[in-house]
Structure 1
Amino acid sequence: MTSSQLSAWLMLVPGGLWTGGILIFAVERTNLWRRMPLEQYVVDVRRSLRRADPMLPIFGAIGGAGTLWFALDGSAGGARTLAWIGAALIVLVMISSIVIAEPINTRFRRLPEGTAPERAERYRTIWRRFHFVRTVLALAAFACVSAAAVA
């Protein structure tokens, strides 16, 4: 396996799992969370975060590293440009997740299960809106890296 093939694999497989995880939250969880009573939402969001929170950033970081490697490893012209755009979008999603989503997630994670943080309803709205934008950016990033791999 060449360096280019390995970097393409690292940007596509973990990057695809990362994008898919984000998309599943957008399609499944946030839709349900919007309609759940607050008491049920508080329990469900905490349980969901317990499983997904450690996994998604790891996949995103590996996919992002693979994308940077691909961009730096002699890919040419359009492939390199697409990889750089994909890498920038991945970094944007990761940083915005740390700045916007993680403080909200931490408020839920620190409390005993079933206990709502102050302003939980407001956090639910902010998180849902943020996640919609994050999903669009993650899908755009994956489209760019996929196009780079076949360019």
Structure 2
Amino acid sequence: MIVHAVGLGGMLFFGGLWAGSNLMMLAERARTWQRMADEGYPDDFRRTMMLSKLWVEVTGLATAFSSGVFAITAGPSATVAIIATSITAFTLVASGMIDKPAPATMTAATGQAKPELRGHRAVWRGHHAGRTLAAVAAFLCLCTAACPTTAGWAMIVSGGLWTGGVSFLAVERSRAWRDMPLDDFLADFRVSVRFVDPLMPVCCFASAIAATVFSRASHGTSAIFGWVGVVCTMIAAVGSGAVSAPSVLRMLRSEKTQTSAQLMRDRTIMLASNVVRTIAALLAFVCLDAAIIAQ
């Protein structure tokens, strides 16, 4: 029973982080790289991949292991879990085989990128789109195997994608933004926000609504964990919006209307609120997973 609960909780938690992180990398970094100048792309690609690739691989391996444990102990729902485990394992192996580093140098004579650099972005984006599709499909299979109700399924799917997305931003973008020169940060941040804003709030509030429906229909320990998850989700959403929204809006305006000191302070506030939001999102998702386990 304990082994089954550990496998169930682990596959939902790490599966959400894995799928959400891949989705965020596709929605934010891949689309940003498509618009980035050739001169800045190789360094930004390597800097991003140093931590984000490790993060995605670790969460993927944890998903495969815990879903395998669940499949062994699941009984009738083992078939779906085995399918998800197979998709996860295949995706991890394929990623290691097809990924390639960015070209190392630029041609000094002309200042133009080597020919292979021009195609690298499109090829990598295509590979990562396939990887993201497989990760999300595996996560949906795991949620189908674990969640007997529609509300529970929607709660875990949206909560996992949201938590994985904000975790990726905390692991990779926050570190990069903190170290960037102010002008580079503002340019990168404005592009990123345009891609992130439509995705993350939708997943956040979908998770809160589904968790509310689930908690109202549940009883005992499951309902308690569900309501705690709702509270943590709303703290992350409302708190982050109230604290960081003014700073974000100022950074999105023309920097000519702001002093460097003000913009640096706004960046510090935004990064600190991202840390708090990530912690609250992780706590919320742990509680939502616990609510499913306690059913």
Same fold (TM over 0.5): yes
Mapped to 1, the partners of 2:183 and 2:289 lie a distance apart of 41
Q: 2:181 maps to which residue?
A: 37
The CA deviation at 1:116 is: 7.7
Q: 1:50 maps to which residue?
A: 194
Detail structure 1 runs of 4+ shifted over 6 Å in the superposition: none
Counterpart mapping for 1:2-151 below 5 A: 5-73=149-217, 75-111=218-254, 117-118=258-259, 119-151=262-294
Name the TM-score, length of structure 2 as normaliser. 0.47
* Number of aligned positions between the proteins: 147
Q: Which has the higher contact order (CA 8 A, sep 6+)?
A: 1
2:231 partner amino acid: A
Name the TM-score, length of structure 1 as normaliser. 0.91
Mapped to 1, the partners of 2:243 and 2:162 lie a distance apart of 18
The CA deviation at 1:109 is: 2.5
2:178 partner amino acid: R
Mapped to 2, the partners of 1:36 and 1:43 lie a distance apart of 10
The CA deviation at 1:66 is: 0.5
The CA deviation at 1:108 is: 2.4
* 1:2-28 Cα distance to aligned partner (Å, 9 max, x none): xx6111011100111111111011001
Mapped to 2, the partners of 1:36 and 1:101 lie a distance apart of 19
SS in 2 for 1:54: coil
Mapped to 2, the partners of 1:131 and 1:57 lie a distance apart of 14
1:133 partner amino acid: V
2:266 partner amino acid: Y
Structure 1: unaligned runs, 5 residues or longer? none
SS in 2 for 1:143: helix
TM-align CA RMSD: 1.9
The CA deviation at 1:97 is: 1.9
Structure 2: unaligned runs, 5 residues or longer? 1-143
Mapped contact 1:19–1:138 kept (Cα < 8 A): yes
